[in-house]
Amino acid sequence: MKTSEIVCLGIESTAHTFSVGIATATVAEKTRGKVLANVIKQFTTKTGGIIPAEAAEHHVEVCDVAIKEALAAAAIKIRDVDIISFSQGPGIGHCLRIGAAAARTLAVVHKKPLVGVNHCISHLEIGKLLTAAKDPVLLYASGANTQVIAFEAGKYRIFGETLDQGVGNMLDAFARHIGLGFPGGPQVMKMAKGGKNYIELPYVVKGMDVSFGGILTNITRKYDNGSYSKEDLCYSLQETTFAMLVEVAERALAHTGKTELLLGGGVACNARLQEMCRIMCEERGAKLFVPERQFLVDNGAMIAWLGILEYLKGTRTPVERSAIKPYWRTDEA
Ligand code: AMP
Ligand code: MG
């Protein structure tokens, strides 16, 4: 191991994305980090939905190429890598297993330490690396996950979360139902631009938590009844569910006294969600930080970066303890 510079190759494979990122840190009095590569391969379908076994098959197919492309983009060889990290959870078992197997193989063959990291926390840490945010509340809105997370009193805590599905999965399910492809979030966003009338939908915030199942059922029925346009439905779906997210994020800011809101997750790419967060932050004198798209969606760079942070804190994941953790909670990491 070089004394001052550490390089980590990180593998992400919690859901439909297989990604290999490479990050480096200069370890001195103050650790400084940088992303050297972020190769993202997404499994998509025309009709919507992810079949876990098919996504896993996709990951197997692109695995080799993604690793090679990442090393080439970083202009390094595998021997220059000091640590191998991987998303150990939470996520879809079929998909997690492919990334974990690839990471174990690299670690064993090339004799590098292995570090399993928590996917949700990596969204928070990459945001801190790449934006000016120092101690933010993260609104993490992705396909499978929806959580409001912050580091508080010595550990990562969840201040609010979905009680059922992630907001992205809900958008994807509705998009699929009305004949848009997967991923559906961007399609819903486009449709919503043409919406003119707000249609009342259930607004489901329970304490600090949110729930999307009932909203999905309700809007699906409304669509099936045929009396509303797709545009108005998509518009109303965004306005309602994003308002729920902004409400919980704002209360987490108020509760923690923090003054920075960071966005993470694929749904955070949504222009309307960003706008609503910006307005809320302005009104309460907080700052909003939005990493660029490649670091909002699932990506290997965030896994590589958290791999370095964990490694520096002493985390090691020997192969015999590297089993995937599909239900790993943010507040147990
Ligand atoms: P992730 O799980 O973080 O990779 O994010 C994937 C999810 O983000 C999927 O559910 C997508 O439908 C959703 N998504 C991507 N772009 C957008 C967008 N512009 N608006 C809403 N959802 C989006
Ligand atoms: Mg994610």
**At a CB cut-off of 8 Å and minimum separation 6, what does 207 contact?**
160
Residue among 124, 269, 295 whose CB has most ligand 1 atoms within 8 A, to mutate = 269
Average pLDDT for residues 298-309, to the nearest whole number?
A: 98
Q: For all residues of the chain together, what is the average pLDDT?
A: 95
166 three-state secondary structure: coil
Cβ–ligand 1 distance for 269 under 6 Å, the answer: yes
Q: What pLDDT, on a 0 to 100 scale, did the predictor assign at position 217? A: 98
CA–CA gap between residue 262 and residue 125 (Å, rounded): 10
Cβ–ligand 1 distance for 267 under 6 Å, the answer: yes
Question: pLDDT tens digits, residue range 163-187?
Answer: 999 999 999 999 999 998 778 999 9
Q: Which atom of ligand 1 is nearest to the CA of 14?
A: 2
Cα of 4 vs centre of ligand 2, distance in Å, is 30
Fold of 135-290: Nucleotidyltransferase; domain 5 (3.30.420)
Cβ–ligand 1 distance for 91 under 6 Å, the answer: no
Question: pLDDT tens digits, residue range 22-63?
Answer: 999 998 877 789 999 999 999 987 776 778 999 999 999 999
With a pLDDT cut of 70, the percent of the chain lying above it is 98
Q: Which residues pair with 42 in a beta bridge?
A: 17
Question: pLDDT tens digits, residue range 233-291?
Answer: 999 999 999 999 999 999 999 999 999 999 999 999 999 999 999 999 999 999 999 99
Cβ–ligand 1 distance for 186 under 6 Å, the answer: yes
Domain coordinates in residue numbering, the chain: 5-124+296-332, 135-290
Q: Which atom of ligand 1 is nearest to the CA of 141?
A: 3
DSSP of 91-148: S-HHHHHHHHHHHHHHHHHTT--EEEEEHHHHHHHHHHHHSS-SSPEEEEE-SS-EEE
Q: How far is CA 84 from CA 22, 98, 148, in A?
A: 9, 14, 28
Fold of 5-124+296-332: Nucleotidyltransferase; domain 5 (3.30.420)
pTM of the predicted protein model: 0.95
Question: pLDDT tens digits, residue range 194-215?
Answer: 999 999 999 999 999 999 999 9
Q: Do domains 5-124+296-332 and 135-290 have the same CATH topology?
A: yes
Q: Which residue has the tokens 């600090």?
A: 208
Q: What pLDDT, on a 0 to 100 scale, did the predictor assign at position 257? A: 97
Ligand nearest to the CA of 273: 1
